[in-house]
A and B are shown apart, each in its own frame.
Chain A
Amino acid sequence: MKQSTAIERLSKLKKMVAKEDVTAALVLVTQAVNETARSLVEVKRIEAERDVALMQIREKHDVYRRVFDQLFSERRDAISKHFEIIDKEIASNNQELILGALQGLGQIVAASPFTNLKLLAQVLEGNSKLEI
Chain B
Amino acid sequence: MRGIEVAGLFKDIVTFGAAGRVEAAEKRYESIVDEYQRLEGRVEVRRAEAESTFKLLVEEKQACVIELARLREISRNLSAREREFSAEAVREQPPSIGLARIESTLTAADAATSAAHGAVAGASTAMGAWALAGAFANASTGAAIANLSGAAAQSATLAFFGGGSLAAGGLGVAGGAAALSTIAALPALAVMAAFSHNRANKDIARFEEESVKIQGAMDAYLKLELLIQISERRASELHRVLGKARDAFVHQYNATYQSLFRWGWLSKAWRWLRRLFGGSYFKVHEVVEVQELIQVAAAFAQLIDQRVFEPDGSVKETTS
Contact = CB atoms under 8 A, between A and B. Distances in A.
B48 interface: no
Given A79-B240, A109-B241, A64 B226 contact: yes
A72 B233 contact: yes
Interface of A: 29, 32-33, 35-36, 39-40, 42-43, 46-47, 50, 53-54, 57-58, 61, 64-65, 68, 72, 75-76, 79, 82-83, 86, 90, 93, 95, 98-99, 101-103, 105-106, 108-115, 117-118, 130-132
B233 A114 contact: no
B133 interface: no
Contacts of B296: 95, 98-99, 102
B16 interface: yes
Interface of A is mostly: helix
Given A43-B21, A72-B237, A132-B314, A53 B251 contact: no
B215 A113 contact: no
Interface in B41-85: none
B223 A132 contact: yes
6 contacts: A32-B197, A53-B212, A61-B225, A79-B237, A102-B248, A106-B303
B215 A53 contact: yes
B25 A43 contact: yes
Interface string B185-226: 000000000000100110010001001100100110011011
B282 interface: no
Contacts of A29: 16
B317 A36 contact: no
B237 A43 contact: no
B319 interface: yes
Q: Considering the complex of A and B, which 7 residue pairs feature the smallest CB-CB distances, nearest first?
A: A102-B299, A110-B320, A112-B319, A118-B317, A61-B222, A131-B170, A115-B317
Interface of B: 16-18, 21, 25, 28, 32, 166, 170-171, 197, 200-201, 204, 208, 211-212, 215, 218-219, 222-223, 225-227, 229-230, 233-234, 237-238, 240-241, 244-245, 247-249, 251-252, 255, 292, 295-296, 299-300, 302-303, 306, 314-320
Given A105-B241, A112-B317, A113-B230, 7 more contacts: A61-B222, A79-B241, A93-B251, A99-B292, A102-B300, A106-B299, A131-B171
A109 B238 CA distance: 7
A115 B300 CA distance: 23
B234 to A, nearest CB: 6
Contacts of B227: 117, 132
A97 B238 CA distance: 21
Contacts of A79: 237, 240-241
A98 B248 contact: yes
Nearest to B170: A131
Nearest to A32: B16
A79 B237 CA distance: 9
A102 B47 CA distance: 30
A29 B15 CA distance: 11
Residue among A64, A86, A109 with the highest chain B CB neighbour number at 10 A: A109
